[in-house]
Amino acid sequence: MLRYVLHRLLILIPVLIGISVVVFFLIKLQPGDPFVGMIAPETTPEQKQELLRQAGYLDPIWIQYLRWASHAFVGDFGYSTQSGAPVLMLIQERIVNTVLLAVSSLFLTLLIAFPLGIYLGLHRGGKVDTAISLIYFVVVSVPVFFIAILLVKVFAMNLKWFPVSGATTLGSNYSGVQHLLDVLSHLFLPAMALAVANIGIFSRYLRSGISELINQHFVKALFARGVSRSRVIFPHLVKNAARPLITVVGMEIPSLLSATLLTEIIFNWPGIGRLSFDAIQARDYSLLMGIVLFLAVITLVTNFLVDILYALVDPRIRLSQ
């Protein structure tokens, strides 16, 4: 197992270096410079060139990359050209809200997809399975932002069950349980918007696994011995059918993080996605590079943990290394 863990860790290093190179050079290829909003209009072209030279912006691009990468390696992503605050501090202020949104969405997904997948796997080909399959193909074809707008229209504007946007009610002085309920009421719609498509994906994987396993000889043997249906379904069918979900969840996390961009904008949720949008509008390249690299690290670490967890569940994975 230790050999497998070290092998996976060594793979992360070149991947992270490659991501940093791609991120840096793609953003550097953008037209203009990120200091345009910081220089006074009356500044002469000669003075502007001198300021850019002092900031290191006119250095060869490979020198700029090495300087940025060496600082980023120790957690120093520079300063925001828009606010002047350290990039890492701005990310730390918002990452909690994004993680809360992503975890809540994943919780809602598993809460609904798990029992739904089990039911569909045990009743494959039935009327409910056919209806859910049709709904699944429709939902999977619809972009997340459309689902988010639809949820706002129905549940926030028409029914007025949930607030339209934000993380808390403006002007409120809630504390304790009231504050928690207020945050949850603001969190539900964006979390559900992210969860809708994944509910279909996760339930379909579980449905396929259970419908295949239920016809296996060991399952028929258990039923023949008189083992109750519930004792066959949960300890045997669900346990084996849920293994692929570990990988699927790991693969969906990058998509989940990227989908928060539009979702946070629509619901005005104060997370990394909203911060990225503001950085793009302000051409705040230092902040944007810090955000992309930070999310890349989170994605790599998550995939690493998923690999380790899957190796623990299935010994064949680690023994093959």
pLDDT band at 314 (very low <50, low <70, confident <90, very high): low
Percent of the chain with pLDDT over 90: 0
**Tens digits of residue pLDDT in 169-198:** 776 777 778 888 888 888 899 999 888 878
Q: Which CA distances in Å does 108 have to 94, 103, 250, 295?
A: 22, 9, 16, 22
**Tens digits of residue pLDDT in 88-109:** 888 888 888 888 888 888 889 8
Say yes or no to pLDDT of 249 above 80.
no
Q: Output 297-301 pairs: Cβ under 8 A, ≥24 positions apart.
A: 297/16, 298/257, 299/253, 299/254, 299/257, 300/12, 300/15, 300/16
Say yes or no to pLDDT of 321 above 60.
no
Percent of the chain with pLDDT over 70: 84
Say yes or no to pLDDT of 160 above 80.
yes
**Tens digits of residue pLDDT in 206-224:** 888 887 777 777 777 777 7
- On whether the CB atoms of residues 271 and 101 are closer than 8 A, the answer is yes
pLDDT the model gives residue 269: 85
pLDDT the model gives residue 253: 74
Say yes or no to pLDDT of 55 above 60.
yes
pLDDT band at 238 (very low <50, low <70, confident <90, very high): confident
pLDDT the model gives residue 218: 73
Say yes or no to pLDDT of 267 above 80.
yes
pLDDT band at 65 (very low <50, low <70, confident <90, very high): confident
Say yes or no to pLDDT of 75 above 70.
yes
> Would the pTM of this model clear 0.75, i.e. be above it?
yes
pLDDT band at 32 (very low <50, low <70, confident <90, very high): low
Say yes or no to pLDDT of 320 above 60.
no
Average pLDDT, the chain: 79
pLDDT band at 59 (very low <50, low <70, confident <90, very high): confident
pLDDT the model gives residue 35: 61
**Tens digits of residue pLDDT in 4-18:** 777 777 888 888 888
pLDDT band at 201 (very low <50, low <70, confident <90, very high): confident
Which of the two residues, 302 and 105, has the higher pLDDT score? 105
pLDDT the model gives residue 225: 74
Q: What is the 3-state secondary structure (H, E, C) of 182-239?
A: HHHHHHHHHHHHHHHHHHHHHHHHHHHHHHHHCCCHHHHHHHHCCCCHHHHHHHHHHH
